[in-house]
Structure 1
Amino acid sequence: MKELKHVNKYFKKYWFKLLMGIVITIIARVFTLVMPSYVNKSISVVENFMGGKIAESLAREQLLQYILIIVGAALLSGFFTFLMRQTIINVSRYIEYDLKNEVFDHYQFLSLDFYKKNRTGDLMNRISEDVGQVRMYAGPALMYGINTITLFACIIPIMFFTAPKLAAYALIPLPILSVLIYQISRIIHRRSTKVQEFLSTLSTFTQETFSGVSVIKAYALEPRINSEVGVLALEGKNRSMDLAKVNAWFFPLMVLMIGISNIFVIYIGGRQYLNGEIASVGVIAEFILYVNMLTWPVAIVGWLTSIVQRAEASQKRINEFLKEKPSITNNVAETTPIKGKIEFKNVSFTYNDTNITALKNISFVVNEGETVAILGKTGAGKSTILDLTARLYDVDSGEILVDDVPIKELNLESLRGNIGAVPQDAFLFSDSIKNNIKFGKENASESEVIEAAKNAVVHENIMGFSKQYDTVLGERGITLSGGQKQRVSIARALIKEPQVYLFDDCLSAVDTETEEEILNNLKKASKNRTTLIVSHRVSSAKNADKILILDDGKLLQEGTHEELNDVDGYYSELYRNQLSEKEN
C-alpha cells in the first residue's frame, strides 16, 4: 500500500469526522448484536410456555418486551448506520474533491513538454476514473473495514461463550470463503487494471475523434472511424467480460458458504439440543443469525482487498504524474517589473521530444517599445523565439535577458502576466465571445471588450450574430471561421494591455485589407510596448522597427524594410514575389 500513503495527508485533514464515523460505526454494530440474543430469548419464552413452565400472560408480556427491544435496536442501528454513511462516505467525497483539485493544479503547473508526451484522454482518465477508485478506498473500504473488525471482535467471542463446539463448526467455512474471495480479488485486481488502462485508450480516441470531427467528415472517414471504434469496443467488451466472469463467482461462493455454515449450525446444534448440551432451540436460531451477520464481513475481507488493490493501481498511475517535475520553475518569489527590452545572446535550443534543433546560436536585441517582425521559411525557428520569450521552454545554451536581467531571475508570473500572446493556432474556449475576450482581462468592462473587438476588426462580425457578444462558441471556437477566431484571439491579447505582445502568424487567415486595418490598430495599441510579430507576409513586417530573417534556426538577415529590400537576399526576393502576386 506504499502508493496509497499519498492519501494519508487527507485522512489527517479530516481526522475528526473520521473518528466520529468510526465511533458511530461501532455503536451501529453494537445495536445490531442485540437482535440475535433476544431472538434466542423469545424462542425460549415460547418453549417455556409450551412446556407449561410459565403462564400465558407472562409469556405475552416477555415476548412483547423482547420484540420492542429488537425493533428499537434495529431502528437505532439503522439510524446510526445512516450517520455512519453521512460521516465516512462524505469524507471520501471531500478527499475525492481535494485529490482532483491537487491533480488538476499539478497539471497546470507542469510545463508544455509534458503535454506533448501525454494524451488528453489519459490525463482525463487519471483525474476521473483513477481518482474514483481511490475514493472507494478512502470511503467504502474504510467503512466496511471498521464494520468487519467490530463484528469479528464482538460476535466470535459471544458465539464461543454461548456454545464453543457449535461456534467452531459454524465458523469452519468462513476462513475458506475469505481465502477464496481473496484469490478471486487478486484476479479481479489484474483484470480491473487492464480495464482502467483501456479506458484511457478509449477516452483518448473518442476525445480526438470529437475534436477532429470536421477533418473526419471532410475526408469521408466515418466508415473507417466506425470500424476502429468497433475494434476498440470489442476489445473493451472482452476485457470487461473477463472481469465480469471473475466477479460472477463472488456472490455464489458467498451464498454457498452461508448455506454450509447454516447446515453445520442446524445439524450440530440439533444434535447438541437433543443431547442436552444446549438449553434451547433458540441458540440455533441465534447462531444462524450470527453466521449470516459474519458472512458478509468475511466476504468483505476479499472485496476490501480488491478495492485496496484497485486503489493502489490507480494511485500509482496518479502518482506517476504527481511526481513529474516541471522543467520550467519559478525561481523568484517576489514580483518583478517588466518594461519590455528583450535580448537573445548566443541562444541555441533543441526540442526534447523531436530532437530538432530549432535555434542555432541566435543573437539579437529588441529595445523597449520596439516592433520587431520575424520572417522565414516553415521550420526556421520563428515560433520558438516567441515560446522562449514567454519562457515556455528554457534554452539549452546561451542566455535570454529581459530588461537586462536573465529571464530565469524574473518572477515567472510577472513575466507571463506582462505578455499578451496570440498563438498560431488560435484557441478559444467553449464559452461566450465576451468571456473569451475577457480571458485576457477578467474584470474588463463591456466598453473595453467592444473597443478591443473593434481594434481587432471583429466587432462587425460579432454584431451580426443573433446573440452578438453572448454567442456561445463550440469546442475550440468551431462556431467561428479561421479569420474570426484569430481576430477574437487578438482582441483577447489587446484587452490585456501588456508590456510585450507576441503575435505568431495571427493574420494568416484574414484578407490583406483586413490585415492592413488590424496592423494600423495594432500599431496604435502597441505604442510604447514591445511587439514581436511572426509572419510569412512582408505586408505584416514592412512597418516594423526591425526585421529578423531566420533560416534553419540561424539569423540570416537583420534590418529595416528599406535596408533589407536594398540588398539581394531572402527578404527582397520575398517582397518582390508577394508584390507581383498582389498586382496579379
Structure 2
Amino acid sequence: MRLFSQLSWYFIREWRRYLGAVALLIVIALLQLLPPKVVGMVVDGVSRQQMSTSQLLMWVGVMLIAAVVVYLLRYVWRVLLFGASYQLAVELRQDFYRQLSRQHPEFYLRHRTGDLIARATNDVDRVVFAAGEGVLTLVDSLVMGLVVLFVMSTQISWQLTLLALLPMPIMALVIKRYGDQLHNRFKLAQAAFSSLNDQTQESLTSIRMIKAFGLEDHQSGQFADIARDTGRKNMRVARVDARFDPTIYIAIGMSNLLAIGGGSWLVWHGMMTLGQLTSFVMYLGLMIWPMLALAWMFNIVERGSAAWSRIRSLLSEAPTVGEGSQTLPEERGSLQIAIKEFCYPGSQHPALRHVNVQLKPGHMLGLCGPTGSGKSTLLSLIQRHFDIAQGDIRFHDIPLTELRLDGWRSRLAVVSQTPFLFSDTVANNIALGRPTAELREIEQAARLANVHEDILRLPQGYETPVGERGVMLSGGQKQRISIARALLLDAEILILDDALSAVDGRTEHQILHNLRRWGQGRTVIISAHRLSALTEASEILVMQKGALVQRGQHEQLVSVKGWYQDMYRYQQLEAALDEEENEKGVSHG
C-alpha cells in the first residue's frame, strides 16, 4: 500500500479523473445491489403466489436496464481511470529519459544498459498497472464490499452477516503475509530480469565479435545460466502468487457454508424468509469479487511498489556535475586549463597532474602519449563530464563550473574514439546536431571530412540507411561521417579524440589540410596515436602517466630525445616498410 502514498502527487494532480472514476464505481456498486433484492422479492412473491406475470416481467426488465447502465458506466470509468494511468506511463518514461540525458559518465560506470532499459520498460509497466488496475480494485472492492456488508447487516440479518464473515479476518492476515513475501521476491526477480536484459543487449551488440572468436556456445551457456537464474527467481514469485487464490476460495467456501447453515436454521425457525436467504446468498456472492479483488490488489500493488523503488532510486540520483548559471559572451574566447590534480570518482590514483595550457582562437592543440597517459581524461574534463577538485578550466576567464552546461557544450563539437551512428540515413546521421541543415551544407561537411565520394558510391547516396550502429560502413567511413557531423555544427571548439585512427595516411593528410582551412579562428584539439596527425599543431603536449613530460611544436619535439622522437622515428620506419611491401606486392602482381 506504500505505492499509493508514493504516487499521491499524481493522484492529486489528476484528481478529476480519479474522482470521476470513483464516483462511477460507487454508482455501479449501488446498481449491483438491485438484482439480489429483486430476486429475493420475486422468490417470496412467487412462493406466496402474490406476484402476477406483469409484475414479474417488470422486475426482469428493471434488472436488464440496470445491467445495460452498469455496462455503459464501466466503459466510461475505464476510459477515465486507465487514461490517467497511461498518462503516468508517458510522464515516468519522459522523466526517466530526461534523467538519463542529464547524467554523466560516472553514472554509466555504475549502471548497466540492460538494467536501465528494464527499469524504463518493465518496471514502469508494473507501476502503471498498479496505478490503474490497483486503484480500480482497491476502490471497487472497498465500495462494493462495504455497501453489500451494510445491506446484508441492516436489511436481512446482522447475526448471519457476522457469522458468514468470521473467516475474513484470518484471510486478511494471511494475504498480508503473502504480500510482504511477494514484494521482496518480486524485487529480486526484477533485478534478475535486468541482468538477463543486460546480457541480451551485450550479446546482440557484440555478435560479430562473438562469431569471430567462435564463442557462440560459450555465450549461449552464459545466457542459459542467467535465464535459469531469472526463471528460478520468477518461480519463487509464482509460488507466492499461487497461494492467493486458494486462500481466498477456502475463505469464501467457509463463508458460504456458514451462511447456508446459519440461514437454514433461521428459516426453519421462522426468523427469515426463503427469499431473504436467497438474497443473502446472492449478496454473499457479490462479496466474492471484493475479496478476490483485494487479494489481487495486494499482489499488483506490491509488484508496483517493488518496481517503483527501483525507478525512484534512479530518478533521485542528482547529476555528479552541477549546473552553472552564467551565460557565455557571443564572441570567441580563450580556453585556459590549470589542473593541479584529478582523480576519477572512487579512485585515489591521480589520472592527471599539473596540466597547464592556454588555447587562443585559431590555435590547434595536439595530444599524444602512450595508452593510459590521460589524453581522453583531459578531453573529458574539457567537455565537463567530471568536475575538478584541485584546479579548474576556464573559458572567457569564467570557470566551467559556473557556466550553463548547454551553453558551454554548444561551443563544442566532439568526435570520440568510437564513432556511433544511428539506424538512419547517412544524411540524417551527419545532420544529427543540425536537423534543419540543407543537403548542400551536409555535402560540404562531408567534403571537408573527405567522405563525400564514398557516400556517392553507396547504393542510395546520402539516403542510404547505414544499419544499426553503422554496420553497413567500414571503420574509416564511420569515423569520417562522425567528423562531418561535428564540422556541420560549425562550433567554436572542435575536439577529435583519436578520430583518424581508422583512415589511411593519405586520407588523414587530406582531412587535416581541410581542417586547417576550416579551423581559421576556431580552436582545434586533436588527440592521436599516429603523430603525423599532429605535425601542424600550434602546440603538442606529450603525456605519460597523467603528467606532461614534453611540450612544443613538432619540429622542436623530433629534435629532442624523448618519447615523441622515438615514436615518430618508429612510425616513419613502419610507414616506409609498409610502402616497400606494397610496392613489392604490385611488382609481383
User: How high is the TM-score relative to the length of structure 2?
Assistant: 0.94
**Residue of structure 1 in register with 2:585 after alignment:** none
The alignment status of 1:541 with 2:534, answered yes or no, reads: yes
Structure 1 counterpart of 2:272, one-letter code: I
**Residue of structure 1 in register with 2:194 after alignment:** 200
Relative to structure 1, is the Cα distance of residues 485 and 425 closer, same or farther in structure 2, using a 3 angstrom cutoff? same
Picking from 132, 136, 145, the partner of 1:139 is 132
**Residue of structure 1 in register with 2:89 after alignment:** 96
Relative to structure 1, is the Cα distance of residues 35 and 487 closer, same or farther in structure 2, using a 3 angstrom cutoff? same
In structure 1, distance between residues paired with 2:180 and 2:151: 32
**Residue of structure 2 in register with 1:275 after alignment:** 269
Asked if structure 1 preserves the Cα contact closer than 8 Å seen for 2:3 and 2:301, the reply is no
In structure 1, distance between residues paired with 2:485 and 2:170: 67
**Residue of structure 2 in register with 1:250 after alignment:** 244
Picking from 546, 564, 586, the partner of 1:553 is 546
Secondary structure of the residue aligned to 1:248 is helix
**Residue of structure 2 in register with 1:30 after alignment:** 30
**Residue of structure 2 in register with 1:422 after alignment:** 415
Runs of 4+ in 1 over 3 A off after TM superposition: 1-6, 333-338, 353-356
**Residue of structure 1 in register with 2:232 after alignment:** 238
| Superposition pairs of residues 158-177 of structure 1, within 5 angstroms | 158-161=151-154, 162-177=156-171
**Residue of structure 2 in register with 1:290 after alignment:** 283
Unmatched 5+ residue regions in structure 1? Answer: none
Deviations 1:228-278 (A, max 9, x none): 122122222222222222322322333333333222222222222222111
**Residue of structure 2 in register with 1:493 after alignment:** 486
Secondary structure of the residue aligned to 2:271 is coil
| Superposition pairs of residues 251-330 of structure 1, within 5 angstroms | 251-279=245-273, 281-330=274-323
Asked if structure 2 preserves the Cα contact closer than 8 Å seen for 1:346 and 1:398, the reply is yes
Question: Over aligned residues, Cα RMSD in angstroms?
Answer: 1.8
Asked if structure 2 preserves the Cα contact closer than 8 Å seen for 1:174 and 1:295, the reply is no
* Alpha-carbon shift at residue 2 of structure 1 (Å): 5.8
Secondary structure of the residue aligned to 2:287 is helix
* Alpha-carbon shift at residue 210 of structure 1 (Å): 0.9
Asked if structure 1 preserves the Cα contact closer than 8 Å seen for 2:368 and 2:542, the reply is yes
Asked if structure 2 preserves the Cα contact closer than 8 Å seen for 1:338 and 1:403, the reply is no
* Alpha-carbon shift at residue 338 of structure 1 (Å): 6.0
The alignment status of 1:9 with 2:9, answered yes or no, reads: yes
**Residue of structure 2 in register with 1:228 after alignment:** 222
Relative to structure 1, is the Cα distance of residues 6 and 108 closer, same or farther in structure 2, using a 3 angstrom cutoff? farther
Picking from 566, 580, 583, the partner of 1:573 is 566
Relative to structure 1, is the Cα distance of residues 333 and 38 closer, same or farther in structure 2, using a 3 angstrom cutoff? farther
The alignment status of 1:68 with 2:61, answered yes or no, reads: yes
Relative to structure 1, is the Cα distance of residues 208 and 434 closer, same or farther in structure 2, using a 3 angstrom cutoff? same
Deviations 1:426-458 (A, max 9, x none): 111222222111112121111111111121122
In structure 2, distance between residues paired with 1:372 and 1:343: 12
**Residue of structure 1 in register with 2:213 after alignment:** 219
In structure 2, distance between residues paired with 1:179 and 1:346: 62
Deviations 1:34-60 (A, max 9, x none): 1110111111221122xxxx3xxx521
Matched residue count: 576
Relative to structure 1, is the Cα distance of residues 515 and 297 closer, same or farther in structure 2, using a 3 angstrom cutoff? same
Asked if structure 2 preserves the Cα contact closer than 8 Å seen for 1:462 and 1:469, the reply is yes
* Alpha-carbon shift at residue 403 of structure 1 (Å): 2.2
**Residue of structure 2 in register with 1:20 after alignment:** 20
Secondary structure of the residue aligned to 1:249 is helix
Structure 1 counterpart of 2:162, one-letter code: A
The alignment status of 1:369 with 2:389, answered yes or no, reads: no
Deviations 1:102-128 (A, max 9, x none): 121111112221011111111111122
Asked if structure 2 preserves the Cα contact closer than 8 Å seen for 1:181 and 1:303, the reply is no
In structure 2, distance between residues paired with 1:244 and 1:295: 22
Secondary structure of the residue aligned to 1:503 is strand
Relative to structure 1, is the Cα distance of residues 340 and 376 closer, same or farther in structure 2, using a 3 angstrom cutoff? farther
| Superposition pairs of residues 517-536 of structure 1, within 5 angstroms | 517-536=510-529
Structure 2 counterpart of 1:22, one-letter code: V
In structure 2, distance between residues paired with 1:236 and 1:165: 50
In structure 1, distance between residues paired with 2:374 and 2:481: 25
Secondary structure of the residue aligned to 2:52 is helix
In structure 2, distance between residues paired with 1:425 and 1:286: 74
Structure 2 counterpart of 1:513, one-letter code: R
Relative to structure 1, is the Cα distance of residues 548 and 482 closer, same or farther in structure 2, using a 3 angstrom cutoff? same
Structure 1 counterpart of 2:29, one-letter code: R
Structure 1 counterpart of 2:249, one-letter code: V
Asked if structure 1 preserves the Cα contact closer than 8 Å seen for 2:3 and 2:304, the reply is no
Relative to structure 1, is the Cα distance of residues 209 and 241 closer, same or farther in structure 2, using a 3 angstrom cutoff? same
Secondary structure of the residue aligned to 1:428 is coil
Picking from 445, 450, 475, the partner of 2:438 is 445
Asked if structure 2 preserves the Cα contact closer than 8 Å seen for 1:179 and 1:302, the reply is no
Secondary structure of the residue aligned to 1:399 is strand
Secondary structure of the residue aligned to 2:48 is helix
Question: Percentage identity across aligned positions?
Answer: 32
Asked if structure 2 preserves the Cα contact closer than 8 Å seen for 1:99 and 1:131, the reply is yes
| Superposition pairs of residues 329-478 of structure 1, within 5 angstroms | 329-332=322-325, 334=327, 336-337=329-330, 339-478=332-471
In structure 1, distance between residues paired with 2:240 and 2:482: 53
* Alpha-carbon shift at residue 335 of structure 1 (Å): 5.2
Asked if structure 1 preserves the Cα contact closer than 8 Å seen for 2:479 and 2:500, the reply is yes
Relative to structure 1, is the Cα distance of residues 480 and 343 closer, same or farther in structure 2, using a 3 angstrom cutoff? same
* Alpha-carbon shift at residue 5 of structure 1 (Å): 4.3
In structure 1, distance between residues paired with 2:483 and 2:4: 46
Secondary structure of the residue aligned to 1:28 is helix
Asked if structure 1 preserves the Cα contact closer than 8 Å seen for 2:184 and 2:306, the reply is no
In structure 2, distance between residues paired with 1:435 and 1:6: 42
Picking from 169, 173, 178, the partner of 1:179 is 173
Secondary structure of the residue aligned to 1:444 is coil
* Alpha-carbon shift at residue 353 of structure 1 (Å): 4.5
Structure 2 counterpart of 1:439, one-letter code: L
In structure 2, distance between residues paired with 1:254 and 1:71: 30
Secondary structure of the residue aligned to 2:437 is coil
Which deviates further from its counterpart, 230-239 or 253-262? 253-262
Structure 1 counterpart of 2:117, one-letter code: M
Structure 1 counterpart of 2:574, one-letter code: E
Asked if structure 1 preserves the Cα contact closer than 8 Å seen for 2:541 and 2:548, the reply is yes
Relative to structure 1, is the Cα distance of residues 577 and 171 closer, same or farther in structure 2, using a 3 angstrom cutoff? same
In structure 2, distance between residues paired with 1:81 and 1:263: 32
Relative to structure 1, is the Cα distance of residues 223 and 32 closer, same or farther in structure 2, using a 3 angstrom cutoff? same
Unmatched 5+ residue regions in structure 2? Answer: 578-589
Structure 2 counterpart of 1:103, one-letter code: F
The alignment status of 1:107 with 2:81, answered yes or no, reads: no
In structure 2, distance between residues paired with 1:173 and 1:2: 26
* Alpha-carbon shift at residue 463 of structure 1 (Å): 2.0
**Residue of structure 2 in register with 1:157 after alignment:** 150
In structure 1, distance between residues paired with 2:4 and 2:143: 24
* Alpha-carbon shift at residue 513 of structure 1 (Å): 0.8
Which deviates further from its counterpart, 282-291 or 352-361? 352-361
* Alpha-carbon shift at residue 72 of structure 1 (Å): 1.0
Secondary structure of the residue aligned to 2:70 is helix
